[in-house]
Structure 1
Amino acid sequence: MEDHFAFFKGLNYEDGLSVVTAVFKKFPLQYGTTLGLDGNPQIRPLEFKFEEDGVLYFDTVVYYTSYKEMQAHPCVQICVCDQSTMSYVRVSGTVNFTDDPAIIDRCFENSPVLTSQFSEHRETVIGYYLTNVQAEFMSFAKELPAKTYQLRNKYDQQPAK
């Protein structure tokens, strides 16, 4: 097993997108929080699928409670932590759903779990990407930096000129 500290030391902390995607790939089980339909926070495991052109993609299933929650309150926060280095990445953003077949195909290509559970019911899977993304890397290891990032992408609203 690769030493996690060496992994974190090798990240390019000047490039927030590469930090987020590298950590999400290294630790494929993240936890995401939504605002529940009852107004209380809800946390659940989720799986980052891929990044393309600066856009972070995930998926859910149309009959999941989380889908209904994200429709009603489209803000999420995702966190992944490595206990061995006491380091974590936290990402916040606005959920935007897509039923683009190419995106759904990529989600399946990047997830054996999704494929094993839903390959016969692909029509129930919906992709989503994040806009207005803010991310932070934090660590209790003194050798690692604390960084915050705004990860703009092509779907973010451009400021009026």
Structure 2
Amino acid sequence: MGDCGKSCIVKRAVEITEIDYRRYGILYNLSGDGVDTGNTNHSAGDGWEDTDTNVSLLDTPGALGYTLGSGTPFEAVEMERHLHTQEAQIPAGEAIVFCLAQACDGAPKAEDVVPVILRPGFVFVIHRGVWHSASHGIGGAVRYYWQALAYVNEPTVWEEIEGGAVRVEA
């Protein structure tokens, strides 16, 4: 996979359940399997089963987006943050990989970037001000949904990562 040069740190993505994800946002497990993230309701009937969030996904109205991201490995050169909205990341059938870095006054630092894997059946709602990259597939390109308060000229901030790019491997 090529060398990313002196100004690049290589990091391997980890399952979002393996980090303290509460520092970055709210994790919902809608699959009913594995870790109990709370904030969900489960019901079932004759021929159906359902899990939903027991609170609104976002604390503002939100647009729904559908994005195509390239596969891993990828180099995160810049990250974005939203001070006006939360943003939900929702896999559309395949796992997605994205980077997180805690909210701070300046640009995110390469050593603080945490690449995570979000599996289908999970939704991650990123807190306001938390830095994040676009999402990517494990290996190949993948589509995913996002939800956030989006409008023309919204105040989204993209900044280059201090300390150079982060090469993310899955």
Q: Structure 1 or 2: larger strand share?
A: 2
TM-score by length of 1: 0.28
Q: As a proportion of its length, which structure holds more helix?
A: 1
TM-score, length of structure 2 as denominator length = 0.27
Greater RCO between the two (CA within 8 Å, min separation 6)? Answer: 2
